[in-house]
C-alpha cells in the first residue's frame, strides 16, 4: 500500500481549504486518531477552525456520539499551518477542499505535486469535476483520486472514491482503507463522469422536484414532505435498486413504460432558478430561496437538523 496503516508512524493528512467541508473533514480525521494539518490561503480562517470543530463536538457530545476525552484528543490532532509546503511535507495523503473552480484546483495540484513526496496520494473533494484532468496537472496521475465527502462531512457516512482514467488500483485500495479507518462508508466510482454517482442521483431528483413545483403540482413544503416522509424515509434502508427488486422488475417495467415519458428531462437550468439567482434569492444565506427564512434563527435551524441526522446515524448503526 502507498500509505501503511499499521506502521509506527501514524498517517498524517494535509487538508487544503478550511471552509465547511475542509473543517468537517479535519474533524473526522482527528477524531479517528489521524493528525490533520489544515491550510488555507487565508490564515485568519485557519485560526478559527478549532473553535468551529469544538462547537460541532459539543453537539456530538450531547447526542452521545463522542466523549469529552475524545473531543479533547481530537482537537490536539488538528494542526494549523501557515505555509502550503508545511501542510504537505511528509504526509501520506493530501486532500483539497477549495472552491469548485477547475482552474484553481489545477493550479493547486501543480503546486502540491512539486512540494510533497512522490508517493503521497493527492485527493480532491470535488463533487463532480474531472479527476482525470486534475491528474494530468501532476507527474503522478496514478496517485490522484477523487475523495468526495458529503455535507455535513462529520455526519454523512458515505465517501465517493473516484477513479481518474490513470488512477492505479493501489491508490484506490489505500484510500478505501483510509475511509474505513475513519469510520466512513466507501463507494467506488469506476468511471470519471461529471457529477460522479451521488450528485447524478441527487440532481435527477432535484430537477424533477423543481419541475413539479414550477408546474404547480404541489407546494415546496409538500414536495419536500413527500421525500422526507415518503420515498426518502425508506431509502436509508433500501436503495432505489433494492426498492425495484422489492416491487418487482415487471412492475417497474410496466410503470416506467408510461411514466418515463412524463418525467422532466430538461438540459438547461430551470427558468425559476435563473430568476431566483438574478433576485439573489439564494436560500439560507440570503434569507430566502424556495422558502422564506425571515425571522428564522438559522443557527438553531441547522443545529436542529444536525441533531436529527445524528439520531439517524446512531439508529442505523453507523456509529457504535
Task: List, in order, residues 6 or more apart from 255 with CB less than 8 Å away.
Answer: none
Residue with cell 451521488: 198
State how far Cα 12 lies from the chain centre: 20
The x, y and z cell numbers of residue 88, run together, are: 504537505
Active site residue 199: yes
Contact 184, 156 (CB under 8 A): no
Question: Which one of 56, 124, 127, 130 is the catalytic residue?
Answer: 127
The x, y and z cell numbers of residue 38, run together, are: 489544515
Task: List, in order, residues 6 or more apart from 247 with CB less than 8 Å away.
Answer: none
Active site residue 127: yes
Question: Which one of 199, 208, 281, 303 is the catalytic residue?
Answer: 199
Active site residue 124: no
Active site residue 96: no
Which residues are part of the catalytic machinery? 127, 148, 160, 199
Amino acid at each position: 500500500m502507498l500509505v501503511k496503516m499499521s506502521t509506527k508512524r501514524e498517517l498524517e493528512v494535509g487538508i487544503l481549504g478550511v471552509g465547511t467541508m475542509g473543517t468537517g473533514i479535519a474533524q473526522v480525521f482527528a477524531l479517528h486518531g489521524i493528525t490533520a494539518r489544515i491550510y488555507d490561503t487565508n490564515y485568519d480562517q485557519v485560526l478559527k477552525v478549532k473553535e468551529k470543530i469544538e462547537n460541532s463536538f459539543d453537539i456530538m457530545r450531547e447526542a452521545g456520539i463522542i466523549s469529552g476525552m475524545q473531543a479533547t484528543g481530537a482537537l490536539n490532532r488538528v494542526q494549523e499551518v501557515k505555509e502550503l509546503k508545511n501542510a504537505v511535507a511528509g504526509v501520506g495523503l493530501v486532500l483539497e477542499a477549495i472552491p469548485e473552480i477547475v482552474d484553481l484546483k489545477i493550479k493547486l495540484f501543480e503546486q502540491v505535486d512539486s512540494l510533497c513526496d512522490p508517493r503521497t496520494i493527492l485527493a480532491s473533494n470535488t463533487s463532480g469535476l474531472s479527476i482525470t484532468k486534475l491528474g494530468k496537472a501532476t507527474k503522478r496521475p496514478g496517485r490522484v483520486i477523487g475523495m468526495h465527502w458529503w455535507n455535513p462531512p462529520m455526519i454523512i457516512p458515505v465517501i465517493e472514491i473516484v477513479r481518474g482514467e490513470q488512477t492505479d488500483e493501489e491508490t484506490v485500495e489505500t484510500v478505501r482503507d483510509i475511509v474505513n479507518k475513519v469510520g466512513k462508508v466507501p463507494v467506488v466510482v469506476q468511471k470519471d463522469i461529471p457529477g460522479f454517482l451521488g450528485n447524478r442521483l441527487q440532481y435527477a431528483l432535484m430537477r424533477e422536484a423543481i419541475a413539479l413545483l414550477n408546474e404547480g403540482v404541489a407546494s415546496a413544503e409538500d414536495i419536500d414532505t413527500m421525500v422526507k416522509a415518503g420515498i426518502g424515509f425508506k431509502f436509508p434502508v433500501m436503495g432505489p435498486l433494492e426498492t425495484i427488486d422489492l416491487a418487482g422488475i415487471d412492475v417497474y417495467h410496466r410503470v416506467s413504460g408510461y411514466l418515463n415519458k412524463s418525467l422532466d428531462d430538461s438540459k438547461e437550468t430551470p427558468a425559476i432558478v435563473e430568476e431566483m439567482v438574478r433576485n439573489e434569492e439564494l436560500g439560507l444565506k440570503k434569507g430566502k430561496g424556495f422558502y422564506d427564512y425571515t425571522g428564522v434563527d438559522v443557527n438553531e435551524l441547522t443545529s436542529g437538523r444536525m441533531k436529527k441526522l445524528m439520531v439517524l446515524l446512531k439508529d442505523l448503526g453507523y456509529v457504535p
